[in-house]
Amino acid sequence: MPSSPPTPCRAGRALRLGAALLLAAASFGPARADRTDKKQPLAFSADSARVDEAKQLNILQGNVEISKGSIVIRADRVEVQQNPQGTQSAVATGWPNRRAYFRQRREGTDEYIEGEAERLEYDGTRDVVRLVNQAVLRRFRGNALADEVAGNTVTYDNTTEVYQVLGGPSSAAPAGRVRGVLTPREGAGSEPPAAAASAPERRP
């Protein structure tokens, strides 16, 4: 007896789960984010800053720009927390009509990871970036866009080199779904591409 078709709710959950697992398996490749970023000083500019030494918390507001090694964060508001391990974590929120922005170089390559979302969460201890609401994550090889994924939430683990994309009501893809374009990587036996200039930073 033929089975009944899945309900829209069940089908939607299966689609989101399948997409998440597929994209998680298709990592951005063998190179990791620049591991020296953790050891670099954090520099910032903003319209205002509140420093709480007791809580090891900095609250930056108004056209915030942060740099830490190859990491760049731009947002309307950023909270930077010093962790007991000596690393730093940040939560960034975008402007009412513009998303927060994140960028980081991948170690040993000319590749960059770039993300935009209404909220960015960077965990310096676990080396994980989470983009929430209207989330888009891109990988550039030099100046060329190689991969792009979009959804409600995108989580990228720099240690395991795995990313996950989930759909939802605030997805950057239509109808609350997830979408992506993944470019094949060069084969092991192919000629290496000519060195390209570093991808210019975009102003969100």
Mean pLDDT by 10-residue block, N- to C-terminus, for the chain (204 residues)? Answer: 46 43 43 67 95 94 95 97 89 97 88 95 92 96 92 91 92 95 69 47 67
CB 67 within 8 A of CB 46: no
Buried/exposed code over 159-171 (b: 16+ C-beta within 10 A; e: otherwise): eeeebbbbbbebb
User: What pLDDT, on a 0 to 100 scale, did the predictor assign at position 160?
Assistant: 83
pTM: 0.76
pLDDT of amino acid 35: 63
